[in-house]
Structures are given as C-alpha cells and as structure tokens.
A and B are shown apart, each in its own frame.
Chain A
Amino acid sequence: MTDQHTHRTIGEALDASGVSRRSFLKFCMVTASMLALPPSVGRVMAQQLRKAKRPSVIYLSFQECTGCLESFTRSFSPTAENLLFNVISLDYDDTLMAAAGSHAEAAREKAMKDNWGEYLVIIDGSVPMADGGVYNTAAGKTAHQTLMEVVEGAAAVVCVGTCASFGGIPYAHPNPTGAVPISELVTDKPVVNVPGCPPIPEVITSTLVHYVSLGKVPDLDEHGRPLAFFGNTIHDRCYRRPFFDQGKFAKSFDDEGARNGWCLYELGCKGPTTYNACATVKWNDGTSFPIESGHGCLGCSEPGFWDKGSFYKPLAAGTYTSAEKIAAAAGAGVLLGAGAAVASRMKRKSRLHETDREERS
C-alpha cells in the first residue's frame, strides 16, 4: 500500500501509480470541461496539478447522515481513490480513516500544525447551537468548538451537502437542535457551498479539483455555490421541458402522462426553482436523475427546501393555507359592510329629518 505521504507532488504520485501523462491530461481536460472552463485551462490545470503538492484536507462531519460522504465515494471522474491517493492528502476523516479515537485526533492535530494556513477543510452536516451545542459532540468537544478550532488555520472551507451549506434537514421546522449552516459561523475564510441532498458525486470532486489545481475557489453564486454546477435550474436543462411548454402533465404517478414521460410539474416538481446539475451531469456516471426516473425534483439543493411546502404540491399551489384567516376576514368584511350600511342609513335619516316626513319615496 503506498504511503500517501511518500510522494511530495501530485505528478510524482501519478507517475508512481502508472498513470500516463496522456490519460492524466485527458482527465484534466474532462474536468475543465465539466467546470465549464475553456480547454486552455485544462492544460494549465494539468501543469499545475503535476507540480502541486497534494494539499492536506481535513474532513469534518457534524449533524449529517453520511449520505454526502457516500455520494463522494461514488464519483466516477475523478474516482474517489484517484482523488484520495493522487490529488489530495486526506489527513482526517472519521468515517474513512483506519485510525480511531485519540490516534485519529492526534493525526488531525499534526496535519493542522504541519500545514497551518494551507489546509482545506471539507465539512458535511450542520452545527447545533441550542443548549450549548450538546447535540453533536465528539472527543469531548462540541461541533461548534471543533469547527472553530479547525477552521482557524484553514485556507478555505468547502461545505458538502445542504446541511452544511444551508442547515438542511436538522434546520427544518422546528429545528430543535438549533442547527445552523457553516457559513453562519465561519465568516473570515472563503466558503464554498456544494449543496444537494446529497450533491452529485462529480460535483463534489470537480469542485475540489478546481481548488487544488487552480489555487482558488470557482466562481460562486449569491448562495456561495459554484456557478458551473449551480448556475442553471433543473427546469432550464430538463429534457421534459417541451412537455411543460406544451402543457402536457402527468396528473398522478403511473398514469398515462407519467408513462409517456410528460412533465411532472403537477406532481410537485420543484425544478423551476432549483439550481443544480442533475439534469445535465446526472447520477451514477450519467445514468439518470429523479425526473428521468419519474419523480419530481424535491429542490434539495435550495435553502429551506424541507419547509417550503409539500413535495407533491405544484409550485403554483403556494404555501398559504389558512382557511381560518380567510374566514375571519370574511366575517370582518360582513361586519364592516353592515356597519357602513347602518351608518349610511342613519346619515340619510338625519338628513331627511330636516325635510318633509310624508315623503317616503
């Protein structure tokens, strides 16, 4: 087993693995293309990557389900192994690493000390803040404490998954643990959000490669998400869009419309308001994505997606529900109307009081 610390540069690591320059260049070009960068950047990427020292990466997991890490390991290009052994030096991940307990913590502290100011921190899961943060503790420290300690010497932070990016599932009403997204706590370092529940594997890995090879975070949208993958909505790229435009909708699962592959808008698809790469990059090396498999988009890469109303109610249906409020308004309207009529009649009477009483016309 190659010691991941042996080879100082990525180029050396790749040569040792027997990856030809040609196939490495190809990998870089593909990655550049996925990031919507021009081919010239691909070549730069290849040069830089070969020279680059494999950066130290510390992966922290807080209130999460580990789905994001699972997704990460299913990346096809680059593969997780490729990434782990050739591109980065994953110095701490409590799920993947062989060590445990105080040995694992010691490895983390050493990596931090050796690479202070240069290491990349990847985080999945939200941080609970209620009741002193007791709802997620490890090694005797709260998630909040661990986060602030580790991030202090980081060069950049990548939040993987909607929980880390926006709070995700723990953040949903009533949020009993007081979960917050990482960006609320880390304000003095560059933070990249890679949301999704989970994010697409290649989206995670390509973002990391971008950072490692070009030395900076990719262009981000107003939510801190890489524009390359989160710049369009699912709706913009959905192959079922013509059916939406024509008004051909599936009305229930497995009805005629569903079997004909019509648009899933009426079944609650949140594609029009969800930014992600599912419709283009897809899942399982481009096999499919939820809509293609017949289920509407849940909007899982958007802030607060869990609280935005039913997954199965169409976007047009809205999230207002209060029949009681409307009934109260109706009652108020009737009262106001009656009051106005009474006032009007009284005013009329008082005006007529001054004139002939016999006239009852």
Chain B
Amino acid sequence: MTLLDFARGPGMNFALAVFVLGVLWRLVGIALLNYWRPKSEPRQGWLRAMMGGALATGTRSWPHREFIGRTGYGELLGYSYHIGLFIVILFFAPHVAFFKGLFGVSWPAMPSTWIHLIAVLTLTLFIAVLVRRVTNRVLRRLSNFDDYFSWFATALVIVTGLMTTGHIGASYETLQAWHLLSVELLLVWFPFGKLMHAFFIFPSRAINGYLLSRKGAAS
C-alpha cells in the first residue's frame, strides 16, 4: 500500500472516526452536566431574551464601537484568515469532490485561480497571526501548547495544500499524501484542543446573550 493509498483509505477512515468520537465525547460531556435555571425575575420575557441570544451569536463577530480602536486589528486579522480558510476549504473543486464523496452533496466550486490567490493570502495572514501571538505581550502570557500546536496543524494543511496544488517539492502523489495526512492530523487533534471553538462559539454566544438579555443588560 503506498502512502497515498493509506492516506486516502484507512488513514482517512481512522481520522474521521476519531474526529466524530472526540467531538461527541466533548460536547455530550458538557451538555449533560448540571444545569441552572435563573430564578431572578427577568426584565424581558423569554422570547425577547432568546432573540437577544440569537442576535448575540452574530453581533459578537465584530467588536462594539467603543472597542474597535484597541481591538480592531487583531479581530480583523483573525476573522480574515478564517474567511480565507472557509472559502478555500469549501469552494476548491477537489475539496467539493471530497465532500461529495463524504456526504453525497455538492455545490458549485470557485475558479481554481481565485482559490490559489486566496490560499496564498490566507497563509500570509496565518503567519501574521503567529507573529502577533509571539510578539503581543498579552498573547505571550496566555498562550500554551494548545495554541501553538493548533496553529501548526492548521498551517501544515495550508502549506501542503499549496505545495500539492502548485506541484512543488515532491511528486504529486507524495504531495497529495502529505496533504491528506496533514488533514488527518488536524482531524485527530481537533476534538482535544481549542479548535473545538468551532462548535462552542454559537452556543456560548447564544447562552450568554440570552442570560444578559433577560436582565436587559448590555450584550
């Protein structure tokens, strides 16, 4: 079995299984913990509070006016590479084919030349984000292995993807194998580190938005 055969076959199977297992483990492990129902008299009815929560899932995506001056740059950097990643992952034709193989549904792809450009841009932003993490004093104080390894695992996927699509560094099947293996590494790591924020972000914003909205508090 060649490296590519392994990466396309049993490797991917294993990584997907670990991903599904880990994500459910972590989500269910939290969702079944103790719950607390607020007992204070709310300022707003539950419907308005829920709407507030739903709104918060969107509005937290950009800092409130008062905060933009200090925090705009960092947030912009972070969101930009996320958007770049989503575009590349979801709209590059071979990726669309991958998802079709996985889920059976497909959607139109973007022209590959645009994807190449966006991928290069995303990588640049991604490197900028690491530079920021090691130079910014707050981030240096906060960062741990999880932060750096999650960055590394994601960066590896982007770099191997660019190498594969650019046909540089090794033969195509080797590059494709590395790219798939790097995706598998990311999938296996995903449930155990901070990448889970992809699953946490909307419930967290919604729940806290709800709790603040029911008080009529700022959210």
Chain A in direct contact with chain B (Cβ < 8 angstroms): yes
Chain A interface (Cβ < 8 Å from any Cβ of B): 233, 235-236, 244-249, 265-266, 272-273, 303-304, 308-309, 313-322, 325-326, 328-330, 332-334, 336-338, 340-342, 344-345, 348, 361
Task: Give the distance in Å from the alpha carbon of A265 to the alpha carbon of B109 in the complex.
Answer: 13
CB distance from B116 to the nearest CB of A (A): 8
Chosen A-B contacts, 15 in total, with CB atoms closer than 8 Å, are A236-B167, A245-B112, A246-B113, A266-B97, A315-B94, A317-B101, A318-B180, A320-B16, A321-B13, A328-B17, A333-B20, A334-B24, A336-B25, A337-B27, A348-B34
| Inter-subunit contact B8/A320 (CB<8 Å) | yes
Minimum CB distance partner of A232 in chain B: B171
Within 8 A of A (CB), among B8-56: 8-10, 12-13, 16-18, 20-34, 36
- Which residues of the partner chain B approach A245 to less than 8 Å between Cβ atoms? 112-113
The answer, yes or no, to whether B213 is at the interface (CB within 8 Å) is no
The answer, yes or no, to whether B146 is at the interface (CB within 8 Å) is no
| Inter-subunit contact A316/B97 (CB<8 Å) | yes
| Inter-subunit contact A338/B4 (CB<8 Å) | no
| Inter-subunit contact B109/A233 (CB<8 Å) | no
| Inter-subunit contact A273/B4 (CB<8 Å) | yes
Minimum CB distance partner of B22 in chain A: A333
| Inter-subunit contact B94/A314 (CB<8 Å) | yes
CB distance from A351 to the nearest CB of B (A): 12
- Which residues of the partner chain B approach A235 to less than 8 Å between Cβ atoms? 172
Q: Is the interface of A mostly helix, strand, loop or mixed?
A: helix
Task: Give the distance in Å from the alpha carbon of A233 to the alpha carbon of B171 in the complex.
Answer: 9
CB distance from A141 to the nearest CB of B (A): 33
Given the known inter-chain contacts A247-B93, A338-B32, A341-B33, please indicate yes or no for A317 contacting B24, CB distance below 8 A.
Answer: no
Task: Give the distance in Å from the alpha carbon of A248 to the alpha carbon of B108 in the complex.
Answer: 11
Chain B interface (Cβ < 8 Å from any Cβ of A): 2, 4-5, 8-10, 12-13, 16-18, 20-34, 36, 92-95, 97-98, 100-102, 109-113, 115, 167, 171-173, 176, 180
Task: Give the distance in Å from the alpha carbon of A344 to the alpha carbon of B110 in the complex.
Answer: 46
List 8 additional contacts besides A334-B28, A336-B29; criterion CB under 8 Å.
A266-B93, A272-B173, A315-B176, A318-B102, A334-B24, A334-B25, A337-B27, A340-B28
Task: Give the distance in Å from the alpha carbon of A329 to the alpha carbon of B16 in the complex.
Answer: 9
